[in-house]
Amino acid sequence: MEIITFDHQVFRDLSNKIDKIADYVFKKETSPLQEREVWLTSEELADLLKISTRTLQRMRKDRTIAYSMIRNKCLYRLSDVEQSIRERIVSCNPQTLDEFRKNYLLTRKNASL
């Protein structure tokens, strides 16, 4: 076993550096994580949403989806796309959905007779 001795000042400097590193790590753990913004091209977004690029163009024209023009290319922030989807989701209660199904099945049966 080896014994290593430090000068008092060297030990204090090392201890201060360790404290600074610890403070930095703790500060990073407590602060909210900021993820890098993800940008998608028209083709990538169309593939992701399972729609055509023409539909995406129509959505841009109708201002249904936010986009940015960078170097003559349309780019979409993933967070903006997620927000647009959240805003446009139609929710209904199960009773209304059951009524819709029943009416749909009745009209389909009548149409086939």
Q: Which two tokens stand for residue 110?
A: 């009548």
Residue 40 lies in a domain: yes
Residue 85 lies in a domain: yes
For the beta sheet containing 73-77, the strands, ordered from the edge strand earlier in sequence to the opposite edge, are 39-41, 73-77, 68-70
Residue 4 lies in a domain: no
CATH of the domain at 55: 1.10.1660
Residue 113 lies in a domain: yes
Residue 25, pLDDT score: 85
Total tally of structural domains belonging to the chain: 1
Cα separation of 28 and 34, whole Å? Answer: 10
Residue 10 lies in a domain: no
Distant-in-sequence, close-in-space partners of 45: CB < 8 Å, separation ≥ 6: 56, 76, 81
Q: What is the DSSP letter of 71?
A: T
Computed from CA positions of residues 56, 62, 65, 69, in that sequence, does the dihedral angle turn out positive or negative? positive
Per-residue pLDDT of the chain (113 residues; tens, 9 = 90+): 788 777 888 889 989 999 999 888 888 777 666 667 889 999 999 998 899 999 999 999 999 899 999 999 999 999 899 888 888 876 666 677 677 777 777 776 665 55
Cα separation of 7 and 70, whole Å? Answer: 58
φ/ψ (deg, to 5) at 33:
-75, 130
Residue 32, pLDDT score: 63
Residue 12 lies in a domain: no
Residue 55 lies in a domain: yes
Residue 17 lies in a domain: no
Domain range for 61 is 34-113
